[in-house]
Amino acid sequence: MCGIVGYVGDSGSTLDVLLGGLSNLEYRGYDSAGVAVGGETLRVEKRAGELETLEAAVGSADRRRFEGPVGLGHTRWSTHGPPTDENAHPHTDEDGRVAVVHNGIVENYRDLRDELEAEGVAFTSETDTEVVPHLIARELRGEADPEAAVRAATERLEGSYALAVVIEGIDALFAARQDSPLVLGVGEGESFVASDVPAFLDHTRDVVYLDDGEFVRLDPGGWTVTDAEGRQVEKPVHTVEWEAEETGKSGYDHYTLKEIHEQPRSLRQCLSGRLDELGGRVTVEELDGIDAPASVQFVACGTSYHAALYGAQLLRDRGTPATAHYAHEYATAPAPIADGDLVIGVTQSGETADTLSALREAAGRGAETLVLTNVVGSTAARECDHAVYIRAGPEIGVAATKTFTSQLVGLNLLAARLAGGDRQRDLVDALRRVPDDVQAVLDESGAASVVEAFADSEAFFFLGRGLGYPVALEGALKFKEITYEHAEGFAAGELKHGPLALVTGETPVFAVVTGDGEAARKTIGNVKEVEARDAPVVVVTDGAAEAGRYADHVLEIPETDPRLAPLLANVQLQLVAYHRAARLDRSIDKPRHLAKSVTVE
């Protein structure tokens, strides 16, 4: 969950590189931040709060204290202990000779802490991480060389970790990975280690993806990767296609708003080369050679779970049995798997711990696995039998926006390719138009004025049926994430089975009503039910069912294929959440208690 950056290179720029990297990683956690710069001496500075608090602390200090050829930094999402100066990373040993940053959870930290305290070690934090520098220091006192000391310490750890370590007097950085993401950046005369590529994208786009159990040494002469037994591992260098400018705000007030407005471009990228418009077919090169599955099980969490619900419905509509499961439940209670079943993980980062566990469980039971992800070289992409990329580009805002719409488009491609059928031409035509349709929503949305009409409301309901149901859930989630106000999403037909008791004249209801079929007519019936209880109603609609006649406010979307109408409705709901959060002056890009890539279970 946390953000790690490490650097070996020009001693005059180490601090600036670390602070810049942390700024690009704040979406991974922002409870506290810290840096350590090493060389002949080791200097550490860390503070509770967002990165600007740390920047002020090092800015007011003598910056010559932070000159050195090697350093590491950390921005934290709290797991063990609240966000305080003492619990912030880096953590050090008692003599201040070893500094460590960590992402993940050391499951046996209590036993290790008891062991170290019995030897007289005094701890200064409540974190699980602090056992690591003390273990390393103990090995160093036993005259182990630095690399051997770090290896010996990591061998004692149980759980998940991405670790980076600097040691006083050593112009090198050591790092290790187990069930938590870690990548190398390879530059000219400098090397980087980080939990995600944006940390060093300002300096290099050449990346090495590390695997579990691998150990890294960075020094001024370059980098070396070895396995658990110390054998050197040859690793390929990949070039990331993102440009550094893509991780900036480009003049928008928030990354979230920028990424909402980037959706026409991200959808074009997702579709590029995947539509045979002349033949009216979907072509997905990554799926060449895969057989049509007997049934499909989706595993995912959060926003990606809503996409999985949508994908399962798409496949069922085409005649393929499909179910969606919360990954954290599937990992401990998996669904039965039969010959010919396909398990699909949906994960933006490809590093979501629960989803990885579910995919590994499925693979261990003999299932074929596929991941729909945004990140080339991610753990899920490397471990699954197949990987399909949504190509949304970097998403910095913690609340997923453009990655969700790209997932929905990617799932339409998957369903068309896996389930086949004779409805491809209409879908291909609609997919070709969908970037322009999204642009029309962005250009013409009245979401900002709708939000103003409900300035005094404190609870919001979102309703949908069929493919509109996952979008209602996502609309409520987005609203909760960035406004901090109460919002719930419901299958429209469920409203009368209990939740209607909560509806009042102060409870705005957003209803997704697209097309003019039975689902639309029944959803209009549910709209009338809440209207009878004096609830104000907003319909998000293409106008086909004339649902606007029954609403206080209408958010319009262009007419399109029924499978893609919910995607356009989702864009309107994204704008509703954004404008409400902006009106309340919330921390939109960095919602409290949340982080972008959830790498702990």
Residues that are catalytic: 2, 596
Contact between 343 and 364 (Cβ < 8 Å): no
Amino acid at 543: G
C-alpha 346/C-alpha 336 separation (Å) is 19
Token code pair at residue 213: 């159990």
Q: Which residues of 4-22 are buried (b: 16+ CB within 10 A; e: fewer)?
A: bbbbbbebeebbebbbbbb
Question: Bridge partners of 464?
Answer: 491
Contact between 108 and 155 (Cβ < 8 Å): no
Q: Hey, what long-range contacts does 379-385 have (CB within 8 A, 24 or more apart)?
A: 379/181, 379/212, 379/350, 379/351, 380/345, 380/347, 380/350, 380/351, 380/352, 380/355, 380/356, 381/350, 382/209, 382/211, 383/356, 383/359, 384/345, 384/359
C-alpha 116/C-alpha 138 separation (Å) is 9
C-alpha 423/C-alpha 411 separation (Å) is 15
Token code pair at residue 403: 């990655």
Cβ neighbourhood burial of 501 (10 Å; 0-12, 13-18, 19+)? exposed
C-alpha 488/C-alpha 551 separation (Å) is 19
Which region holds residue 296: left if phi is over 0, alpha if psi is between -120 and 50, else beta? beta
Across the beta sheet with 537-541, what order do the strands follow?
A: 486-491, 459-464, 509-513, 537-541, 553-556
Question: Closest by alpha carbon to 99, among 68, 143, 120, 78?
Answer: 68
Contact between 395 and 381 (Cβ < 8 Å): no
Q: Which residues of 180-209 are buried (b: 16+ CB within 10 A; e: fewer)?
A: bbbbbbbeeebbbbbbbbbbbbbbbbbbbb
Amino acid at 219: D
C-alpha 460/C-alpha 441 separation (Å) is 22
